Amino acid sequence: MVVYSEADAHSLPVHLADEAICVGPASSRESYMNIPAIISAALISGAQAIHPGYGFLSESADFSEVCREHGLVFIGPPPEVLARFHDKAATRAAMKQIGLPVVPGSDGLVRTLSEALRVAEVIGYPVMLKARAGGGGRGMRKSESAKDLQRMWDQARAEAKASFGDEGIYLERNLEGVRHVEAQVLVDGHGNAVCLGERECSIQRRHQKMIEEAPSASIGLELRGRIAEMAVDAAVRFGYRNVGTFEFLVDAQGEPYFIEVNARIQVEHTVTEMVTGVDLVKEQIAIASGERLSFSQEQVWVNGHAIECRINAEDPANGFQPSAGVLASFLPPSGPGIRVDTHCFQGYEVPPYYDSLLAKVIAWGRDRPEAVARMHRALDEFTVVGVLTNIPAHKKILASDLFREGKVTTHLIDTVGVEALAG
């Protein structure tokens, strides 16, 4: 059974589901974040468990607790774990206490503009304003000066409140020339924990990921092992359970800095699945059911290379602004090593709500060059008519020397631009 909003009434999951229940209008607050409506739908359908996906209520301790109170299994971390990691500022401080390197920043939340200005002067500009309950790049603002900070303070708080129901903000020094590397961990309820390797997520626009790959092409064996060890150690120390991602920034000198924990499955879990053969959603369900991990760290094997391109309905030539409309044609690619996850089909009307993601294209190869070549072919085959997409931008990025050499950074697209990168 799936639940859906009125805006998603004609999406592919609704058509394919054995049972589908509408939980409210297009507004996410009235539908996908409407806990009473979702719980009612689950009870009416006779469901035993709820998988929250990778957005909306997926990291909500309140939702997890309400599920427990109604005898429903929440397929994700238990409420006490979600509550511990909900506050990204507090998580950052806790990781610092156990010895993980963190980006210089505020000690907890910054509650007033004057306090933010004082912290910024200490850590040095540019600074990042970040939502403590944030995700997906929302509630983040880069400030180059005190004047910028004054202008963006209310904007960041308002966006955080609108997106997460929480206006809490903390500050971090904005590190230039860094890469985004994240470690995928699995922890059961019996003390067993493994790391399924890392993902490189440095290709971003407006702090939102565009391309992810596993393993990272930019780090060596020593750093790979160090990041995995830090992630697993922290997960065990803080009683983490289920699937989670420990995220790091890596500077030009190869030094990692912990930034946050995403206490949920992520959009890019697919690239990890392609190189490890582990079905992460299946593992989530098993752990939530009380089962032990079916494999040990020694049995984790990374085979080949995988790349994911997020195909969004957006206009790269116009600041990646969303593009809505009816899909007059929608023909995803196929072939050896290609996986496509999508909710779309020909005739589907792309709504002007939520994220503009149309599909995820994942390409696997025996090595990185083969994965890149297969992705090029897949993007060439992907036909979308009716809305603008970022497929041309993906092609240019993949063809660039910086990408081929693994020399990309998190700010590359926003500062250089796709066209300049391609040239």
Are 240 and 370 in a shared domain? Answer: yes
Are 134 and 231 in a shared domain? Answer: no
Give the per-residue pLDDT at 75: 98
Give the per-residue pLDDT at 420: 67
Instruction: Say how far residue 273 (Cα) sits from the centre of its chain.
Output: 15
Using alpha carbons, select from 174, 168, 181 the residue that is nearest to residue 105.
174
Q: Tell me the HSE value of 206 on the side-chain side, using a 13 A CA sphere.
A: 9
Helix (H, G, I), strand (E, B) or coil at 43: helix
Give the per-residue pLDDT at 52: 96
Are 324 and 188 in a shared domain? Answer: yes
Q: What is the pTM of this model?
A: 0.91
Give the per-residue pLDDT at 27: 92
- Of 154, 173, 192, which one is at a domain's C-terminal end? 173
Query: Into how many domains does the chain fold?
Result: 3
- In single-letter form, the type of residue at position 366 comes to R
79-86 vs 61-69: helix crossing angle, rounded to 10: 170
Give the per-residue pLDDT at 422: 65
Q: Which domain holds residue 134?
A: 104-173
| Catalytic positions | 264
Are 148 and 256 in a shared domain? Answer: no
Are 116 and 70 in a shared domain? Answer: no
Q: How far apart, in Å, are the Cα atoms of 413 and each of 34, 299, 406? A: 35, 37, 14
In degrees rounded to 5, what are phi and psi of residue 354? 60, -160
Helix (H, G, I), strand (E, B) or coil at 172: strand
Give the per-residue pLDDT at 80: 95
Give the span between the Cα atoms of 183 and 302, in whole angstroms: 13
| pLDDT one digit per residue (tens) for the chain, 423 residues | 999 999 999 999 999 999 999 999 999 999 999 999 999 999 999 999 999 999 899 999 999 999 999 999 999 999 999 999 988 888 999 999 999 999 999 988 999 999 999 999 999 999 999 988 776 667 788 899 999 999 999 999 998 888 777 889 999 998 889 999 999 999 999 999 999 999 999 999 888 899 999 999 999 999 999 999 999 999 999 999 999 999 999 999 999 999 999 999 999 999 999 999 999 999 999 999 999 999 999 999 999 999 999 999 999 988 899 999 999 999 999 999 999 999 999 999 998 888 899 999 999 999 999 999 999 999 999 999 999 999 999 999 999 999 999 889 998 888 878 876 765
Are 153 and 202 in a shared domain? Answer: no
Per-residue exposure over 9-44, b if at least 16 CB sit within 10 Å of its own CB, e if not: eebeebeeeeebbebbebebeebbbbeebbbebbee
Spatial contact of 229 and 95, defined as CB atoms under 8 Å apart: no
